[in-house]
Amino acid sequence: MPIKILIFSPQSRMKELLESRRLQLDVELDSVDNLDALAHRVAETHPDIIWIYACPQQTLSSLDSYSPYLHKLPTPVVLAYENITLEEGNQLLAASFSDVISLENASDDTFNRSFRLLSKISHKNAELNTLRHTDLLTSLQNRASFYTRLQQDLDRIHVDSGALALFSLDIDNFKAFNQRMGYTAGDQLLLDLKNRILNCAQNFPVFRTAGDEFFIIITGLSFETTKEAANHLLETMTSLLFASFNIAEQDNVIGISIGVTFSSESRASIDALTNQANQARCRAKRVHGCSFSIYEPEKDVVPVNDGLLESDIWTALKQKQFELYYQPRVDLHSGEIVGAEALMRWNHPLRGLIMPDDFIPVSEHTGQIIPMGFWAIFQSGRDLKTIKEAGFSLSKLSVNLSFRQFQDDHLAQTIHRIIEKEKIDTRILEFELTESALFSDDLHVQSSIGELSKIGIDFSLDDFGTGYSSFALLQKLPISALKIDRSFVAKLPESSDDAEIVRAIINLAHNLNMGVVAEGVETKAQLEFLIQNGCDQVQGYFFSPPVQLEKFMKMLKTH
Ligand code: C2E
Ligand code: CA
Ligand code: CA
């Protein structure tokens, strides 16, 4: 590669002079004749060396006045002079020049040496500069470039009255993954994820700003075009990012959370905007089964007690502060209680009874739902024994399984162990899954379900109708019942839309040879609608809210 030299000289003499030298180097010469042009040309062509020719009339102080300009340039600058003393030359050398060469005395060799050395320095500088802006692992741009670029884009949309979308993205429980699989696997995961993100983001700049934190910036000419591009990116991401990652010869289901925020005014500071995207991402993590969310000022207030709860949950597990309540499941053909759903409660020593909506999302976020979920299975097994010993029989006892529990590679194995140890009757045990657990359409989820179903455990699909369901998957997986989400039951029988949906779900379940359970039945009218339309079982306050084991057994007795 030729050494690119940019000559700054008011006269053409310098170029001729260089051309007349017998340089043993391959050089490419270019020249400008004023300081403004110099800065522009440097930015455009990235020369390796700048040569400044001081003509005999120039005074030392006039050369000094170049300093503020030269300091800003990333390129080594050589001064060629004819009539200043060596001492003056040295002074200039110390100021802003990388080399000062006397044209009268310099041999061809001096030129060669200076060029060679300075071009090396120049390349090293360029390398360092790239390094300063690059993340070493992924070769993506780093945090420093992210801030620079975001500021530039914000300034620009201010001028062009355009808009900007900022995506913040990270891996759920990356720390736990590293601990479980090792740091090499962690690096591999980051690299695989980077490739997928680049695949999705195509022409938009992608940054890795810290550990597992990535950002993408989309800018558009108007708010509409930006929003369209952002929606399109979200769509591709939800289909490409969530497939399992094959790392260390193992399929790993990895949760990824995405937060998005929009700005159409440059008054938003880069910090404010970054915070908004991060808060939206945290909400995506908090909300059950959600993988992305768009910033909304009202919703993205960080819950103040998140931190407190996380350490409290460990204490709660140790000190047995969790308790299972049971809500009866009533069969509509016989009118009998045929089963129950186990629902977790937290007896907090200071705060009293805490409901699952206040601690399950946090525990899913932190991964603590994994041991809590095992505890629920263990405890329901114990309670089932108590029920049996009191002389009652149940045909189904269901326990909720969070989508997060499927990220545990030992899920099926551990459940198996609990069942053996506690001698739980697997014909009675049922796991309630949400569609979000299945949605990842992942072999890992399917194989865990398959393994558990082999030992006789039934599965039902919870909150049915609120998520995505793939019909192919419904047929393929061993699901024995659909639970109609209580939001559809609430407005029965008045809402004709909901009535239609409920009828359709009942038919679908029966066509697939599955049972169907309606949740949240509170009124007689709802119950009658469900009976008339062939629903099999119901759960709801109309019969009973979830109650403590003892009370549940009393209900079994009196029923
Ligand atoms: P879910 O699985 O959909 O549970 C049904 C929720 O509906 C329960 O809320 C129950 O008390 C409530 N419910 C039952 N009948 C009625 C009714 O007639 N009207 C109304 N308005 N609500 C009714 P709960 O106990 O607060 O649990 C909330 C959610 O927390 C559960 O929703 C489930 O997703 C989660 N959860 C509870 N326990 C566990 C657990 O052990 N493991 C996991 N992974 N999740 C759990
Ligand atoms: Ca449930
Ligand atoms: Ca439910």
Instruction: Ligand 1, residue 288: give the atom nearest the CA.
Output: 34
Give the pLDDT confidence of 289-302 residue by residue, as tens digits.
Answer: 557 888 876 665 54
Query: Does 169 contact ligand 1 (Cβ within 6 A)?
Result: no
Residue 455's nearest CA partner among 494, 425, 500 is 425
Give me the CATH number covering residue 163: 3.30.70.270
Mutate to test the pocket of ligand 1, among 358, 360, 415, 543 (most ligand atoms within 8 A of CB): 360
Same domain, 59 and 202: no
- Same domain? For 259 and 316 the reply is no
Model confidence at 217: pLDDT above 80: yes
Cα 343 to ligand 1 centre (Å)? 6
Asked, for residue 301, whether it belongs to a domain, the answer is no
Q: Is the CB of 520 under 6 A from ligand 1?
A: yes
Average pLDDT over residues 363-391: 93
Convert the pLDDT of each residue in 117-139 to its tens digit: 888 888 888 888 888 899 999 99
40-52 average pLDDT score: 88
How many domains is the chain partitioned into structurally?
A: 3
Whether residue 9 is found in the same domain as residue 75: yes
Q: How confident is the model at residue 439 (pLDDT cuts 50, 70, 90)?
A: low
C-alpha distances out from residue 56 to 75, 80, 289, 475, Å? 25, 11, 76, 90
**Mean pLDDT (whole number) for 416-425:** 93
Question: Looking at the domain assignment, is residue 138 inside a domain?
Answer: no
As given in the structure block, the two tokens for residue 128 are: 């360092």
For ligand 2, the distance from its centroid to the CA atom of residue 400, given in whole angstroms, is 5
Residues with CB under 5 A from ligand 3 (ion): 462-463, 519
Ligand 1 mean position, distance from CA 280 (Å): 25
Does 137 reside within a domain? no
Residue 306 or 372, more confident: 372
In this prediction, residue 85 has a pLDDT band, given cuts at 50, 70 and 90, of confident
Other Cβ atoms within 10 Å of 23 Cβ, number: 15
Residue among 430, 486, 438, 488 at smallest CA distance from 460: 430
pLDDT value of position 114:
86
Distance from C-alpha of 130 to C-alpha of 460, rounded to nearest angstrom: 54
> Rounded mean pLDDT of the chain?
87
Check pLDDT > 60 for residue 308: no
∠ Cα 17 99 36 (to 5°):
70
Cβ-Cβ contacts under 8 Å for 152 (sequence gap 6 or more): none
Nearest residue CA, atom 45 of ligand 1?
A: 400
What percentage of the chain has pLDDT greater than the value 70?
Answer: 92
Output the domain CATH number for residue 411. 3.20.20.450
Q: What is the mean pLDDT of residues 318-342?
A: 95
DSSP classification of residue 46 = -
Q: In the 8-state DSSP scheme, what is residue 358?
A: G
Residue 316 scores a pLDDT above 50: yes
Q: Which of 252, 273, 294 is the last residue before a domain boundary?
A: 294
312 and 449 share one domain: yes
Is 359 in a helix, a strand, or coil?
A: coil
Q: Is 313 helix (H, G, I), strand (E, B) or coil?
A: helix
* 315 and 196 belong to one structural domain: no
Q: Domain check: are 82 and 213 in the same one?
A: no
| Domain region containing 282 | 143-294
Query: Which of 122-136, 163-177, 490-504 shows the lowest per-residue confidence on average (mean pLDDT)?
Result: 122-136
HEC string for 94-153? HHCCCEEEECCCCCHHHHHHHHHHHHHHHHHHHHHHHHHCECCCCCCECHHHHHHHHHHH
Residues 443 and 463 in one domain: yes
Q: Which of 519, 523, 530, 539 to mutate to test the pocket of ligand 1 (most atoms within 8 A of CB)?
A: 519
- Together in a domain, 311 and 203: no
Residues 469, 511 within the same domain: yes
Ranked by mean pLDDT, which of 73-87, 423-437, 449-463, 534-548 comes out on top? 534-548
Are 96 and 244 in a shared domain? Answer: no
Q: Is the CB of 63 under 6 A from ligand 1?
A: no
Domain final position from 236, 260, 294: 294
The answer to whether position 396 is within a domain reads yes
Residue 303 pLDDT grade (very low, low, confident, very high; cuts 50, 70, 90):
very low
Assess whether the C-beta atom of 312 lies below 6 angstroms from ligand 1. no
Q: Is 34 part of a structural domain of the chain?
A: yes
Say if residue 470's pLDDT is above 70: no
Q: DSSP code of 277? A: H
Instruction: Pick the atom of ligand 1 nearest to 399's CA.
Output: 41
Residue 472 has pLDDT above 80, yes or no: no
Task: Pick the more confident residue, 347 or 27.
Answer: 347
pLDDT surpasses 80 at 197: yes
Task: State the CATH number of the domain containing residue 121.
Answer: 3.40.50.2300
More confident residue, 84 or 379: 379
**507: Cβ contacts below 8 Å, ≥ 6 apart:** none
Domain boundary among 110, 132, 154: 132
Strand partners, 269: none
Determine whether 461 is exposed, middle or buried from the number of CB atoms within 10 Å of its CB (0-12, 13-18, 19+). Answer: buried
Please indicate, yes or no, if residue 466 is contained in any of the structural domains. yes
Upper half-sphere CA count for residue 333 (Cβ side, 13 Å) = 7
Mean pLDDT along residues 432-444:
72
pLDDT bucket at 11, cuts 50 / 70 / 90: low
Tell whether 11 is covered by a domain: yes
Same domain, 534 and 408: yes
pLDDT at position 290 is: 54
Q: Exposure string (b/e) for 191-222, b if CB count within 10 Å is 16 or more?
A: eebbebbeebbeebbbbbbeebbbbbbbbbee
Give yes or no: residues 125 and 156 share one domain. no
